[in-house]
A and B are shown apart, each in its own frame.
Chain A
């Protein structure tokens, strides 16, 4: 191919432990590349919010229809574990922000440290989540082994509490169905976020990100803050529901 006429723009590496970044051929400047990536990612975050928006709409609608179910259901969740998870995510958001800052200032080892701490935060969150799910499983509120067993005689297989704590409220499973769906989809985002952070850690260890080019770290950071932000809404709505 004879397209050597296009002027490749290269951002030099700030030091021997870093590698230079070549701007993609269809951009005329590094600024254009950076802004295009940023704008595209913000739009993607908007779609994520709208996706969760559907779930939040369902939450508010049924909270309005069955307020007692949501009140009693919310009392079955352990707010201490929820609060602990909120703190873990908030802390990991801080380490993520520090990781982005370190990448912007070409501090490779510091970036690695902060990103590792963020991944640990993600793992911690999922472990606490697992403990919570296990408790719900034992109490018969969400029985995971029978999740896909269907519906018989007016009873859902995975909900065993028709005569238990939820017996005085209508459609007791409704709160836990929404709880499970929202936290599971959020948990999936935590896992995807952790994978994305590990991806930029690999890039960081190879010296790809530095003061001249840190876009991927920046974008993964934005994603992580969104995951955190959604949890900040989920926590009071599910655990502290009046």
Chain B
């Protein structure tokens, strides 16, 4: 691709002046608040979703502390219901759904396709502000008395409870539009703004994953929007369609909700898959095994995800034949997912593996996701699910996917692109220690939940019989270890911004366009318009010199 000579010339002639990049090209509050630069918007998303993640984590710790004692340690039952609802709603709507597309996707994806920006920069900024309004409304709902429905807002309870359901419903509606506009923007960007030579099969797999996610965001989220709107209408003027007292059908709510929220699971997980695809190849310095299969499996997952929502409702009252079909179709999700997992493992195999901290997080992901994915197949089996439905087994399963896989992939990606985003490098030793702590803490938190769930411990209960106490206590200890690992991570990442140890121009030796542009990228991403002439992940084109040179 492009050679590095211009950058070197600049360095040698005027070594003192730092080159202009997107961080220092303008300054002041307005230059950030009104920016149309996808990288700055991405950083604002990073701060916002990061804070939401920490808030959701604090709620999780409160839940775990409460469950230390069978009778509950901290709260009244209603307050406990509010705390676990806050944990779920914050993590799902404010962190897991927007985090990867909003932050890493925004910063990296346009660069990866060789564009100067996303196709619709103003809409991109609007997405962020919609996210912010949604977050403020969610916080306002806490002040207005909280909400205790669980993040799923199941009718009829969500219609009868005396809490701030309308406010949080409005927050979810607005967050939905934030998500829709991000997805729409990314679809248009991938279709219309690829650089010359960037064919569909030269796109890095992170772009494919973000693209498949975007399709889901656009197609599934409006249904959630109308569903929460109908719940709000129900509370405001008794429209009656979900309220059994008025001839409505609460199961219809569940159908509407899961028609969105099952694809939403893949809205959350596909970007994580994309990050892992990038990281295994770069840190193994080996082209991805099964590039096309991984790309198509993202699309396959996106399609199948629309056909399986009924598997959340095996105990809600559906026709037996519908349940057979939903259970059967659910197993199909396992095929493209396993294709990905095996392809990643095959990529690492006989690669030149560098055990950098992003790679350690990636390897942790591969282990945890195998468990999270396989327990999903167990839950998809109709007869088994009748026993496991709404137990801690389900809780453990989706935390293995949402926290152990998605959040870990997000953290892995953050470590991978951190030197690219900021031009600084964090402390690798601390990062490796934090990774180990998080891995141990995570498994200690959620493995006991599989066991107590399979023995019948129901989810969302504020109290429990004493027989479950050892599992709950192990889980609580694990949660505290996990939290200390996350705290260490936040510490060294922020410290890296203050210490400002320079990153390398190409820290890990990537060959996709995000590692070809200067570090940190200039305002318009590339000094010259990139022309793509090589196949993707062709490590013979790697410029080793750029891995030695400090970034400018």
Give the residues from 341 to 378 in chain B that come closer than 8 angstroms, CB to CB, to chain A: none
Q: Are B247 and A47 in contact (CB under 8 A)?
A: no
Q: Are A6 and B120 in contact (CB under 8 A)?
A: no
For residue A10, CB closer than 8 A to chain B, the reply is no
For residue B178, CB closer than 8 A to chain A, the reply is no
Q: Are A54 and B25 in contact (CB under 8 A)?
A: no
Q: Are A50 and B188 in contact (CB under 8 A)?
A: no
Q: Are B188 and A39 in contact (CB under 8 A)?
A: yes
Give the residues from 504 to 538 in chain B that come closer than 8 angstroms, CB to CB, to chain A: 523-524, 529
Q: Are A36 and B241 in contact (CB under 8 A)?
A: no
Chain A residues whose CB sits within 8 angstroms of the CB of B241 once the complex forms: 58, 62, 174, 177-178
Q: Are B237 and A158 in contact (CB under 8 A)?
A: yes
Binds B, one of A129-137, A147-155, A210-218: A147-155
* A-B interface pairs (CB < 8 A), number: 123
CA distance A60 to B416 in the complex (A): 50
Question: Smallest Cβ distance from A85 to chain B, in angstroms?
Answer: 23
Q: Are B226 and A54 in contact (CB under 8 A)?
A: yes
Which one, A43, A62, A174, A178, contacts B187 given CB within 8 A? Answer: A43
For residue B543, CB closer than 8 A to chain A, the reply is no
Question: Smallest Cβ distance from B154 to chain A, in angstroms?
Answer: 17
Residue total for B at the interface (Cβ-Cβ under 8 A): 45
CA distance A92 to B119 in the complex (A): 31
Chain B residues whose CB sits within 8 angstroms of the CB of A44 once the complex forms: 184
Q: What string of 1s and 0s marks CB contacts (under 8 Å) between B233-259 and chain A?
A: 100111111000111110010001000
**Interchain Cβ contacts under 8 Å between A and B, 18 examples:** A1-B25, A28-B529, A36-B192, A39-B191, A40-B120, A40-B188, A43-B184, A46-B219, A48-B222, A50-B222, A50-B223, A53-B226, A54-B223, A54-B226, A62-B241, A150-B238, A174-B240, A177-B238
A-side interface residues toward B, CB under 8 Å?
1-3, 6, 24-28, 32, 35-37, 39-40, 43-44, 46-48, 50-55, 57-58, 61-62, 65-66, 147-148, 150-151, 154, 156-158, 170-171, 173-174, 177-178, 180-181
B-side interface residues toward A, CB under 8 Å?
20, 25-26, 115-121, 123, 180, 184-185, 187-188, 191-193, 218-219, 221-223, 225-227, 230, 233, 236-241, 245-249, 252, 256, 523-524, 529
A27-B193, A55-B226 known; 10 new pairs, CB 8 Å cut-off, are A44-B184, A47-B219, A51-B223, A54-B226, A54-B256, A158-B237, A174-B240, A177-B237, A177-B240, A177-B241
Q: Which 7 A-B pairs have the closest CB atoms?
A: A171-B247, A54-B226, A50-B222, A26-B117, A26-B116, A51-B222, A177-B239
